[in-house]
Amino acid sequence: MIEARQVSLTIEQTTVVKDMTFSFTKPGMYGIIGPNGAGKTSLLRLMSGAAQPTSGSMLLGDKPISAYPRKALARTMAVLQQGGLPPVGFSVRDTVAMGRFAFQGWFGDEREDPSPLIDSALNRMGLIELQHRPLDRLSGGERQRAALAQIMVQNPHIMLLDEPTTYLDIGYQVQLLETVHEWQRERGMIVVAVLHDLNLASLYCDQLIVMKDGSLYASGTPETVITKELVHDVYHADAEVIYTEPGGPPQIVLHRAGVGMKEKPILDRMQWIQPIGR
Ligand SMILES: Nc1ncnc2c1ncn2[C@@H]1O[C@H](COP(=O)(O)OP(=O)(O)OP(=O)(O)O)[C@@H](O)[C@H]1O
């Protein structure tokens, strides 16, 4: 369980996270959304213990995150940082194996052979064929998949993902979130992901937190949070919100700036699009 109690973070006289209170108590997918500079990464850094609140407290279970030794924290929580892995000379397999550091003794040994776990993570991320390739000879998307495989072998209870779909094409974006979602359910994990794509956030998250100017702007299920008004007020963009199936997650369709077809209901407009051959 992660709980933020009136958490604020001030960096160089600017308060980048302001008085945030929330808790993630149940297993599930939690999304943090909001515009550039809203404070999403800063909030994730507070949740991972990489930054300490200037005021308020960030708790893991019933203790402040700062009270956990590094290795103990790594056995509970895995973090995928923004920007992913650097393009260095380590092979994909060795890089993924480094995710086991929290379970190793002084000499890098483990009680049980971690190979099956590493093979499974490589397999799930479609990296078996690339496992012996160095990271500096991979595309950005392949490196991002290796980064996720690395935190998979950590076997965490909580996973914090900062823009996990960066560098991925839409097929891999969906595949990555599908894998994370499936894995979250199998293991009953709490997954917190900073996502820029509202449609993906709506498809995969059970609950969303919206940040604006460092503060909590809204929170709730995608159905309650993703609205035309939210897109307008938080992102200063015009959009329609549509449902592709009854009871399904909302999806947004953007308008060009200032060229909104605001008066026409969406169903009316969809009749303009005729399948070829009719
Ligand atoms: N180390 C730092 N020193 C000074 N200011 C910082 C530092 N880190 C972040 N900030 C500022 O804090 C604010 C929030 O940054 P943060 O990276 O948390 O936003 P974000 O919502 O993740 O943005 P993005 O979507 O662009 O990644 C920004 O205005 C940023 O310039």
pLDDT at 147: 93
Is the CB of 13 within 6 Å of ligand 1?
Answer: no
Does 258 have pLDDT greater than 80? no
274, pLDDT greater than 60: no
- Where in the chain are the domains? 2-221
Ligand 1 atom at minimal distance to the Cα of residue 194? 22
In this prediction, residue 155 has a pLDDT band, given cuts at 50, 70 and 90, of: confident
Nearest to 213, CA basis, from 1, 80, 39: 39
β-bridge partners, 63:
60
The more confident residue out of 272 and 39 is: 39
To the nearest whole percent, how much of the chain has pLDDT over 90? 66
Q: Name the least confident of 35-44, 53-62, 86-95, 235-244.
A: 86-95
Q: How many CB atoms lie within 10 A of CB 250?
A: 20
pLDDT confidence tier of residue 108, bands split at 50, 70 and 90:
low
How high is the pLDDT of residue 215?
97
Rounded to whole angstroms, the Cα distance separating 248 from 197 reads 17
Residues 6+ apart with CB under 8 A from 78: 99, 151, 152, 154, 156, 158, 159, 160
Strand 77-80 relative to strand 158-162: parallel, antiparallel, unpaired?
parallel
Query: Please, are residues 46 and 17 in contact by the beta-carbon 8 Å criterion?
Result: yes
Question: Can you tell me the mean pLDDT for 208-225?
Answer: 96
Geometric angle at alpha carbon 230, from 224 and 231, rounded to 5°:
125
Find out whether the beta carbon of 39 lies less than 6 Å from any atom of ligand 1: yes
45 lines ligand 1 (CB under 6 A): no
CA distance 83 to 164: 9
pLDDT tens string 8-50? 999 999 999 999 999 999 999 999 999 999 999 999 999 999 9
Placement of tokens 């990489």 in the chain: 50
Distance (Å) from CA 39 to ligand 1 centroid: 6
Ligand 1, atom nearest to 163 Cα: 27
Decide whether any atom of ligand 1 lies within 6 Å of the 154 Cβ: no
Classify 39 in phi/psi space as left (phi over 0), alpha (psi -120 to 50) or beta. left
Q: In ligand 1, which atom is closest to the CA atom of 39?
A: 18
205-214 per-position pLDDT tens digit: 999 999 999 9
Helices (H), 29-152: 40-48, 70-76, 92-97, 115-124, 140-152
Q: 37 CB less than 6 Å from ligand 1?
A: yes
Q: Which CATH number fits domain 2-221: 3.90.25.10, 1.10.3720.10, 2.30.30.40, 3.40.50.300?
A: 3.40.50.300
In whole angstroms, give the CA distance from residue 216 to residue 239: 22
Mean pLDDT for the chain? 88
Cα–Cα separations (whole angstroms), residue 82 to 42, 55, 179: 11, 25, 19
Between CA 227 and CA 237 the distance in angstroms is 12
Q: What is the rounded distance in angstroms from the CA atom of residue 100 to the CA atom of residue 154?
A: 6
| Predicted pLDDT at 139 | 87
Between 265 and 18, whose confidence is greater?
18
Q: In this structure, which amino acid lies at residue 266?
A: I
Q: Which two tokens stand for residue 140?
A: 């950005």
Percent helix, percent strand, percent coil in the chain, to nearest 5: 35, 25, 35
Establish whether residue 36 lines the binding site of ligand 1, counting it when its CB lies within 6 angstroms of any ligand atom. yes
* Residue 128 DSSP label: G
Mutate to test the pocket of ligand 1, among 13, 42, 47 (most ligand atoms within 8 A of CB): 42
**Is residue 266 in contact with ligand 1, taking CB distance under 6 Å?**
no
Q: Is it the case that residue 113 has pLDDT exceeding 80?
A: no
**Signed CA dihedral, 87, 90, 93, 96: sign only:** negative
Spatial contact of 90 and 146, defined as CB atoms under 8 Å apart:
no
Tell me, rounded to whole angstroms, the distance of Cα 196 from its chain centroid.
9
Identify the residue whose C-alpha is closest to ligand 1 atom 1: 11
